[in-house]
């Protein structure tokens, strides 16, 4: 990376690289109204509002911060006692905070950037919006394929002292930020870019912006209701995932969100992940508590969606293989249970223990689907 050395001894500290432009607050308001319209059942209005929030000036502003290094904006300067770059193997672990620490950080900071103050949106919420409105809430791997406001307002957990400079992932060192403030700073310390330490200021108001989290509290998918029902009896008490398992699921869920999945049911009792795959079919993968200790894993898709079934069958078998089981088709023909080799249901914890294997199968499936769609 090219680093510009500027003598900024006399420059005052700023709170962020560049104050958010007014269109960002307007976009937040439009997205909030879109969430309300969606929850009220007005999909056309929600779609219109999401498109209105996709403003080119926001994309240009974001790119000016996390795009190419700009000596005027990034203003790197040498500082006394700057911690050196730490070799990858020697950096504090874990590289990112776990779920419990993220929750504590969010409770303290709210869903607003600690540097510039802009409201932010979790990746899970963005993925949900994209799945509901794939054209309006556009999101692809390249910068310019991403909705301007959803990209700019992307919630990040930023190490004030970068992990590459020896910073750990404790709540003392990590703050909620927007994507430009996090990506713009990269491996620099706040002092090196002439930005004031955000921890020296109180966080902004925690109230007043829910990050559109209300979109995640939508009605359960029918698959989840079916999975949550015990086969022969109604449990006296609704079982719940224990907190350790729920935390592990949160981690898995974040990795899935990067692949465009969203959670479709009440997080304490069942998790159903859904994807809107290229070509439009919706695919589900999920788990539900049957008796409080044992979970059924389901894979499949709703009957109303169609897709390349041979490809889906191949995917389900691969996934079952990653879990050390086999696929059993249900009488409905569009859902499958993954079964262990002895016929037992594999526990959900198995999925989490083998999350890398599961994620790579999912990646391969999505890539194959994209290929199948492109060929037609």
Stretch that binds Zn ion, among 27-35, 171-179, 336-344, 360-368 (CB under 5 A): 171-179
Residue 220, Cα to own-chain centre: how many angstroms?
A: 20
Q: How far is the CB of 64 from Zn ion (least distance, A)?
A: 13
Shortest reach from residue 293's CB to Zn ion, in Å? 43
Closest separation in Å from C-beta 226 to Zn ion = 43
Contact 58, 21 (CB under 8 A): yes
Which residues ranging from 181 to 200 are in contact with Zn ion (CB under 5 A)? 181
Of residues 257, 250, 294, the one with CA closest to residue 274: 257
Query: Which range of residues in 98-106, 166-174, 179-187, 362-370 is near Zn ion by CB under 5 A?
Result: 179-187
Of 178, 216, 298, 369, the one binding Zn ion by CB under 5 A: 178
Please, how many CA atoms are within 13 Å of residue 159, restricted to the half-sphere of its CB?
21
Please list every residue from 101 through 120 that binds Zn ion, using CB under 5 A. 113, 115-116
Using the minimum distance from each CB to Zn ion, give the nearer residue, 75 or 320.
75
Instruction: Give the number of residues in contact with Zn ion, rule: CB under 5 A.
Output: 5
- Helix (H, G, I), strand (E, B), or coil: what is residue 259? coil
* Residue list 206-245, contact with Zn ion (CB under 5 A): none
To Zn ion, the closest distance from the beta carbon of 115 in angstroms equals 4
Which CB, 75 or 113, lies closer to Zn ion?
A: 113
Token match 């802009």: residue?
Answer: 118
Return the number of the residue (24 or 256) whose C-beta is nearest Zn ion. Answer: 24
Nearest approach in angstroms of CB 24 to Zn ion is: 10
Smallest distance, Å, CB 36 to Zn ion? 25
CA distances from 73 to 15, 112, 148 (A): 13, 22, 20
Q: Least distance (Å) from Zn ion to the CB of residue 73? A: 13
Q: For residue 68, how many C-alpha atoms fall within 13 Å in the half-sphere facing its CB?
A: 3
Of 200 and 233, nearer to Zn ion (C-beta) is 200
320 contacts Zn ion (rule: CB under 5 A): no
CA diameter of the chain: 75
Nearest-angstrom CA–CA distance, 70 and 1: 12
Residue 101: C-alpha distances to residues 5, 84, 96, 349 (Å): 36, 26, 10, 21
Residue 137 lies near Zn ion (rule: CB under 5 A): no
Helices 43-52 and 22-39: angle between axes, nearest 10 degrees: 170
> Which residues here bind Zn ion, judged by CB under 5 A?
113, 115-116, 178, 181
């Amino acid at each position: 990376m090219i680093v510009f050395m500027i003598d900024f001894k006399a420059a005052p500290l700023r709170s962020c690289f560049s104050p958010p432009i007014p269109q960002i607050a307007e976009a937040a308001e439009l997205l909030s109204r879109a969430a309300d319209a969606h929850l009220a059942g007005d999909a056309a209005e929600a779609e219109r509002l999401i498109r209105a929030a996709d403003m080119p000036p926001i994309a240009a502003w974001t790119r000016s911060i996390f795009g190419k290094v700009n000596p005027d904006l990034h203003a790197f300067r040498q500082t006394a006692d700057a911690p050196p770059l730490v070799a990858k193997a020697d950096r504090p672990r874990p590289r990112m905070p776990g779920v419990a620490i993220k929750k504590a950080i969010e409770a303290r900071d709210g869903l607003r950037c600690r540097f510039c103050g802009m409201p932010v949106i979790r990746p899970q919420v963005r993925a949900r919006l994209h799945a509901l409105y794939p054209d309006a809430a556009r999101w692809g791997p390249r910068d310019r394929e991403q909705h301007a406001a959803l990209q700019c307002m992307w919630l990040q957990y930023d190490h004030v002292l970068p992990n590459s400079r020896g910073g750990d992932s404790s709540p003392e060192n990590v703050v909620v930020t927007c994507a430009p403030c996090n990506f713009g700073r990269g491996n620099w310390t706040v002092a090196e870019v002439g930005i004031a330490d955000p921890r020296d200021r109180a966080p902004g108001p925690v109230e007043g912006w829910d990050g559109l989290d209300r979109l995640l509290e939508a009605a359960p998918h029918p698959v989840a209701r079916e999975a949550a029902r015990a086969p022969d009896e109604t449990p006296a008490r609704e079982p719940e995932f224990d907190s350790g398992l729920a935390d592990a699921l949160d981690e898995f869920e974040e990795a899935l969100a990067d692949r465009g999945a969203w959670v479709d049911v009440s997080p304490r009792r069942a998790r159903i992940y859904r994807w809107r795959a290229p070509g439009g079919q919706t695919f589900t993968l999920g788990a539900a508590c049957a008796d409080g200790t044992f979970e059924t894993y389901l894979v499949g898709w709703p009957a109303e969606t169609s897709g390349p079934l041979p490809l889906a069958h191949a995917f389900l078998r691969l996934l079952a293989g990653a879990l050390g089981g086999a696929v059993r088709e249900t009488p409905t023909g569009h859902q499958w249970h993954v079964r262990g080799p002895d016929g037992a249901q594999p526990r959900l914890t198995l999925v989490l223990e083998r999350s890398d294997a599961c994620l790579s199968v999912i990646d391969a499936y999505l890539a194959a689907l994209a290929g199948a769609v492109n060929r037609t």
